[in-house]
Structure formats: structure tokens, C-alpha cells
Amino acid sequence: MELSKRALSIKPSTTLVITAKAGELREAGKDVVGFAAGEPDFDTPEHIRNAAVEAINCGFTRYTPASGTMELRKAVCKKLKEDNGLEYEPGQIVVSNGAKHSLTNTFMAILNDGDEVIIPAPYWLSYSAMVTIAGGVPIIVQTKKENNFMLTREELEKAYTDKTKAIMLTTPSNPTGMISSEADLKTIADFAVEKDLLVISDEIYEKLIYNKDKKHISIASLGKEIYDRTIVINGVSKSYAMTGWRIGYSASSPAIAKCIGSLQSHMTSNANSVAQKAALAALTGSQECVEQMRKEFEKRCDYIYEREEAIPLISALKPEGAFYLFIDVSKTFGKRYNGLEIKSAADFASLLLENKLTAVVPCADFGMPEYIRLSYAISMENIKKGMDRIEEFVKELE
């Protein structure tokens, strides 16, 4: 019996593989520092947890409308208006089982077999897999460090064909931590309008910004023409430390939202009812918890970048948002550790984990095989310990 060729073509997430390997070492009693997983190390704030408990105790445990409860979709509309200057009606919002599900729904709703999606590298590795699952073709565009890894008009022109359907955008970026400026966004918006393309804008890290000279701008806010072509993706996972609750949402044109809602109604029905109540509390309650977490991430960002800059042979841009440090390790290629040559970031990561019990993510699957990604969504104690080990490892290379 032959299994689905499309399913067999999808590789497991590198991030989860590294996390699993680090977990095995921990189970064996090893003191592993893990920079791999992209989730806050904070507990979900108390008022959000309490809302979920209340929902259970009140019996709010049955199906909801497939696209989410009306009160949550209204709260999303209010958030988008107040935070992003975007006007949506509840019918344009679909609440899903995490932003990853919102993205998958979106690609399935907009793509026909063979349609191409421009994805600027470096990119979150799941984007290309999602496009493939939906029958599309990911077109990876290599951006440049000197441009802060932002798409240029020339790169867009080179990638465009008569099969291009959409452009993938993420700001703040996973894995680089860079934030798209208004000028960067206008370049993409103008191109999308000119070529009649859609834009999928992943804004899940919007609350986590550390550069005082930067602010989050949603590309959909740059005018009606780009608003009509944009599918905004967001959720509560990163900003409210709610990764396991699995609540994300999309905001789009009525036609696209209807299509996404129809797909979801057959695939998963609604997002978890109790988690929807928790998400409602997150969006409508005090935002002080978000700022407290942001300030702590900022301290960690400053520290980890300062430590990285003091280590020879590796380099990075200082993150402006999210909670990742994207490090170029190409100058270590050709060096040896215990006689073993480093030929790639994957070799660097493997030797580092085996010899210094420190897990980082090699970024070939992010479109950048010369880079590793470190998440600083871990305690300052572990960041210090991990950076000590990375420094030792690099200085011991021959």
C-alpha cells in the first residue's frame, strides 16, 4: 500500500527533533541547557487561568461555532482596531487551534495545486511545509544580512512568475528578531497590489519589541488595497505565555474568512471551548502581564547579545523583537573539535550538544545553513550557563 507522497515529502520539525534529543539527555541525568524551543518560560497569567477554571465549572465544555465564539471574535476585532488600526467585523475572524492552524487553514483556503508562495529566507521552517501540504509551491528567496533580512523590490521581481499567488511575511521575525519598517512593508504592499497578490502576515510576536526606535506595523494598515489582499495571523501563545492553550486567529476579507471557516468546520470543528474563554480573558483583561514579560525578555536579549558579541568566530544582528538570536557560525566551518570537522551549522549544533550539553537549532530548514538559532525564552541562569558553554566550545576549536 502506497502512502501519500505529499505527506511523505514533509520532514519532521528540526526544532522538535533537537528538543527531543535534549530531552533524552536530560532523562539520562545530564544537565542540558536548551535554547531550542520557542515558547515563553513563564506561567500563563493567573487571571487567564482563572477564566478557564470558571468556564469548566460553569459547564462551558461543548461545541462552539466553528469560527469561534462571537464574544471572542468581537474581542479580536477590538484588539485589531485599538492596537493595529484595522477595522474588521466578527465575520472576518476565524479562531483556530493555534496560529499554526490559522496559517495552514489560510494556505488551504487560497492555494490551488501549483500556486507559488514567495517566502523570504530566513523563515520559520513550517511555512514551506504548510504551503506544500496545501498543494502549493514554496519559492524561497534568500535575503541579505546587510538589508536586515528584509525583502527588496529586486528580490520580489526575480521570484515572481505567472504562478505566484501570495507573499509570506512575518514581523517581528522568527528566527532573526528583525522588525519590518514601514518602508519595508510598503515595498511588499506596492508589489502585491501591482501584481494582484495576497499577503499572509504572521504577527504573533507583535507585543515583544525591544528596540525603542521600532514599532509593530501591520501591513494591512497601509491602505484599502493591501488591506483587501492581506490575511493577518495572530494569537495568544507568545504574548500571554499560552502556547499549550492553542488559540490563534486569522483576519481577512469576508470571502477568504468564509472559506477558512468552512474548511475548519470539517477538519476540527471549533477551537477548544475552555481555551477560547481563556483567550477572551487574555485579550480583554489587564495587559500588565504582557509588559512584565516583555521587560524580562528585553533584559535577556541585551545580555545574550552582549555575550555572543564577545565570542570569536560567530556574529549576529541584535534582535529587535521576538525572543531569538540568529547567529552566523560559518567562520567555524573547517575548524575541528576533538578531531571532527565542522562543515555546517548542523555539525556545530550536534558537537555542541554532545560535548557541552547545550541545544541550539541549526537553521538549514530555515533557509540559512550557515546559521543557528538560540531562543532566550529560558531563565537568565540557563542563558548564562549556556553562553558560557558556547564560548568554551568555540574557543576549544582547532
Mean pLDDT of 381-386: 98
- The H-or-E segment that residue 117 falls in is strand 116-121
Nearest to 130 by CA among 80, 166, 155: 166
Radius of gyration of the chain (CA): 21
Averaged confidence pLDDT in the chain: 96
Instruction: Transcribe 197-254 into DSSP letters.
Output: -EEEEE-TTTT-B--TT-----GGGG-HHHHHHEEEEEESTTTTT-GGG--EEEE--H
**Parallel, antiparallel or unpaired: strands 198-202 and 164-170:** parallel
In the predicted model, is pLDDT for residue 368 greater than 90? yes
Res. 279 pLDDT band, cuts 50 70 90? very high
Specify the CATH number for 62-284; select among 1.10.10.10, 3.20.20.100, 3.50.50.60, 3.40.640.10. Answer: 3.40.640.10
Q: Is the pLDDT of residue 31 over 90?
A: yes
pLDDT at 15 over 80: no
* Per-residue cell: 74: 468581537
**In which band, very low, low, confident or very high, does the pLDDT at 361 lie, cut at 50, 70 and 90?**
very high
Reported as type and span, the H/E element at residue 94 is strand 93-96
Contact 336, 398 (CB under 8 A): yes
What's residue 211's pLDDT? 87
Mean pLDDT of the region 189-209: 98
Share of the chain above pLDDT 70, in %: 99
pLDDT tens for residues 188-198? Answer: 999 999 999 99
Q: Please give the angle made by the CA atoms of 110, 116 and 92, to the nearest 5 degrees.
A: 20
Per-residue model confidence as pLDDT tens digits over 99-118? 999 999 999 999 999 999 99
What cell does 329 get?
A: 557560525
Q: Which sequence spans correspond to the domains of the chain? A: 5-43+289-395, 62-284
Mean pLDDT value across residues 128-142: 97
pLDDT, position 223: 98
| Helix (H) or strand (E) run with residue 51 in it | helix 46-57
Give residue-wise pLDDT tens across range 35-54. 988 899 999 999 999 999 99
CATH number for the region 5-43+289-395 comes to 3.90.1150.10
